[in-house]
Amino acid sequence: MDARITNLGARNSYLNQVLFELRDTEVQQDRMRFRANMEKVGEILAYEMSREFPYEKQHVTTPLGELDMDLLASQPVLVSILRAGIPFHQGFLRLMDRADNGFISAFRHHTRGNEFIVKVEYLALPEITGRTVVLVDPMIATGKSIVLAYQALLEQGHPEQIFIGAAVASEEGLEYVLRHIPKARILVAAVDHELTAKAYIVPGLGDAGDLAFGPK
């Protein structure tokens, strides 16, 4: 796998228990539990991602002494794709609780048969130029939504670093993203091998937005 991609699900950790519940059709019937599990995945990915952020020394005085510690050089900008990304975003925000936040709408507009285009219609962002941007979407299927979201970001500014987080991604989608965003660092909880003709990830977990909030 490309060195720019980290597949956390390939390691044995508590993350796999959470992924199991996200995928399980029995557990999925409880929307609140699904959202809570998606938040857990976001929090775990946020922690792992933070290892690669820029840091600087800061001096702290404790009740018993003093020392220098490595703290974030600047707060990241956390950007999520609506609506499926809301609980995933909240998981990242639990750890990155001082981050600035942005939101993008990106959705499939079906034309005929299995054909569709991805539309971006809403964008709310703070200043991103020269900053670390974390773009999150629970599912990377074809990768088109992430790429279009990133291109929309560039209309507002140019980040110093771009990180992408996903719960489940297809191999094809990851390849597409890196072709179009070569400087991206991608952290995913699971990589699945199959993408259907309708661009659904197999085995995947279904439609994350519908599972979290109900059918649209």
Which of 63, 56, 17 lies closest to 36, judged by CA?
17
Q: Is the pLDDT of residue 114 over 60?
A: no
Q: Which stretch of 18-22, 73-77, 110-114, 209-213 has the lowest confidence by average pLDDT? A: 110-114
120, 104 contact by CB (below 8 A) = yes
Give the β-pairing of 65-72 and 55-62. Answer: antiparallel
pLDDT band at 127 (very low <50, low <70, confident <90, very high): very high
DSSP for 132-155? EEEEE-SEESSSHHHHHHHHHHHT
104, 126 contact by CB (below 8 A) = no
Q: Is the pTM of this model over 0.75?
A: yes
- pLDDT score for 1: 79
What are the extents of the domains in the chain? 5-51+74-213
Structure tokens belonging to residue 185: 């660092």
pLDDT band at 27 (very low <50, low <70, confident <90, very high): very high
- pLDDT score for 107: 64
93, 102 contact by CB (below 8 A) = no
CA 193, chain centre distance (Å): 19
What CATH code would you report for 5-51+74-213? 3.40.50.2020
Q: Is the pLDDT of residue 71 over 80?
A: yes
Mean pLDDT taken over the chain: 93
Q: What is the dihedral of CA 20, 165, 102, 115, to 10 degrees?
A: -80
Q: Is the pLDDT of residue 170 over 60?
A: yes
